[in-house]
A and B are shown apart, each in its own frame.
Chain A
């Protein structure tokens, strides 16, 4: 019995040592791939409230409803603007391709009664006046950057990898980003964005996250532009996963008819 117990302990020690060694050997690239490949479900729907706060503390709120569906090749997203009143019933649709080609984007403006394709090249443009660029809101593929594991660190009681990512593409809007990735679920907890002069520009913080329908989901996030001292908070509510959103949700008809 003693021999058996000893064997088990040794085995456990070896296995755990091997496991620790395996984790310790994770590279920055591998960590960011795990973040990218974190399962998020085939589809997601929910409401989004976006609060823009300027450096005088004045707030503006935008609310919208969004549906997202990903079949592995194309991620389709449609957003219906609910408020403020002057943008109500406007809808925006984005198709993002895993093969790296440019996204397709359309906007429906109810006053013009027409769905029009818009240029998707402006990923550095800010989304609805917020501190998030279109690129910040998308899934950036890990192969677009070089990644380096800087250190391991605990923030807010959560053990994290700290990974520095520098873009392969010249002239990208950020010179580098530094991401704090939680070890236990590979969710990014915090990210710093540096401008083209390598000065800290923005800090993204995840305020709230939870497992919804079996998938780790961010529920509240804040982007703080430290240079201009304004912030945008995004709060997701009524989030539902894998409810089988039909393909017809991502069509011109759906953009026109609204949420």
Chain B
């Protein structure tokens, strides 16, 4: 940890000195306090986090760079240092090349990930942080070729970055129920960086007067490991005497598309992806490692509308496992909806917002009301709540984690 702090200090020192020397180096960022308290039980703090997020950027007509280090300080642990992004840009007349750690975002859906499969997710606090904090940067080379209002983008990621899961004792760790305590075999968890293990993505996008659309494809590793489970049974008593869980990432192939267009006063958005090679958990006893490989489709249709100054948005999302077999733990079709209502008052100084995920299969939900007030330019105070409804499902499993929080943020 001391090394990390030393690196941060050194980096800040170097960049600040560069800032002095180079007039055009821009330094922006924010400082934020985020305090959340659970509303149930003993009203424990779920999070007390101080953040310093800095962006160092410099650009000219042909070249640019950006470094975005961040520092989290938690009340119950050490400093956490990281780089959200750190890349170099080379710009030509018709194309750009970006090399380094970068966040790459696909699709038109809001708050859900359908074809948005390039940047892995930091789920250490479930889906609660801002989305630029949930999406992690990946080390990649990206080439964009432009013609008219269209772009072709190719991404080569030589190093695989998996989803960052919550710590074992975290309240956000998804529940996994086993009949007996399992043993973990992590021998297949790592993906060795090599040419064969690279990830590839391709995107064509067009922004036009009638509609925007993009077509994407990818050959990559599943960010979430499949849990291969081996059972050991006593041959005499036929009792389960051992369980070994072996996490392993598998290759996925994805093809998809998304669009947005205005229909009268309404904005219509759609997105869909076909995933091939996904492993699902199954309870079928004849399958030895409790996993089965199936293709699935994931799609969304959404509407945005403004009514008497209130921005309204609704999305219907469905995941559908193809060639479904009994025993698979996931439902064959899982449906989710999202709702957003947002309005400003006092000439954009005060914002009221309500966002909700609703799981239709398990009748669970995550409801997120918040109020934010711009105390001064660049200085925001936010008060919000995360309310989990139901007792099972993606959101209901965190029913005990209802919380209220404040965020105080100064942007500079």
Contacts and interface: CB of A to CB of B under 8 A. Distances in A.
Nearest to A247: B148
A248 B146 CA distance: 9
A88 B262 contact: no
Interface in A83-109: 83-86, 88, 95, 97, 102, 104, 106
Given A114-B105, A119-B262, A84 B411 contact: yes
Interface in B262-321: 262, 264-267, 304-306, 309
Contact of A104 (B59, B91, B132, B209): B209
Nearest to A255: B207
Interface in A34-85: 52, 54, 60-61, 74, 83-85
Contacts of B409: 86
A122 B266 CA distance: 10
B37 to A, nearest CB: 26
Dominant secondary structure at the A interface: mixed
Interface string B100-129: 000111001000000000000000000000
A111 B133 CA distance: 9
Nearest to A109: B132
B306 A130 contact: no
B348 interface: yes
A119 B266 contact: yes
Contacts of B334: none
Contacts of A83: 377
B352 to A, nearest CB: 15
Given A84-B411, A119-B267, A251-B207, A112 B349 contact: no
Which bracket fits the contact residues of B?
A: 35 or more
Given A84-B411, A125-B306, A117 B260 contact: yes
Contacts of B212: 106, 117
A252 B149 contact: yes
Contact of A85 (B91, B131, B378): B378
A236 B144 CA distance: 34
A117 B380 contact: no
A104 B105 contact: no
A33 interface: no
B346 to A, nearest CB: 8
A113 B305 CA distance: 22
A129 B306 contact: no
Nearest to B85: A113
Contact of B305 (A60, A111, A119): A119
A115 interface: yes
B75 interface: no
A179 B344 CA distance: 30
A128 B377 CA distance: 13
Contacts of B132: 111-113
Nearest to A250: B149
Interface in B162-214: 205, 207, 209, 212
A54 B345 CA distance: 13
B262 A104 contact: yes
A119 B411 contact: no
Contact of B262 (A74, A117, A125, A130): A117
Most-contacted residue by chain A among B262, B305, B309 (CB, 10 A): B262
Contacts of B348: 126, 128-129
Contacts of A257: 59, 91
Contact of B378 (A84, A125, A258): A84
A120 interface: yes
B412 interface: yes
Interface string B15-52: 00000000000001010000000000000000000000
A14 interface: no
A119 B306 contact: yes
Nearest to B210: A104
A84 B149 contact: no
A120 B209 CA distance: 12
Contact of B209 (A95, A230, A248, A252): A95
Nearest to A258: B59
Contact of B105 (A113, A118, A129, A253): A113
Given A113-B103, A125-B309, A86 B260 contact: no
Nearest to B108: A116
A129 B207 contact: no
Nearest to A54: B347
A149 B309 CA distance: 34
A119 B205 contact: no
Given A86-B380, A119-B305, A130 B347 contact: yes
Interface string A216-259: 00000000000000100000000000000000100111000110
B130 A129 contact: no
Contacts of A230: 347
A130 B349 CA distance: 11
A66 to B, nearest CB: 19
Contact of A118 (B130, B149, B267): B267
A129 B351 CA distance: 12
A258 B380 CA distance: 24
Given A257-B59, A258-B59, 8 more contacts: A54-B347, A85-B377, A115-B207, A116-B260, A118-B304, A122-B309, A130-B347, A257-B91
17 contacts: A83-B377, A84-B377, A86-B30, A86-B380, A95-B209, A111-B130, A113-B103, A114-B105, A117-B261, A119-B262, A126-B348, A251-B146, A252-B149, A252-B151, A252-B205, A253-B96, A257-B91
Interface of B: 28, 30, 59, 91, 96, 103-105, 108, 130-132, 144, 146, 149, 151, 205, 207, 209, 212, 260-262, 264-267, 304-306, 309, 344, 347-349, 377-378, 380, 409, 411-412
Closest 5 CB pairs of A and B: A129-B348, A84-B377, A129-B347, A121-B265, A86-B411
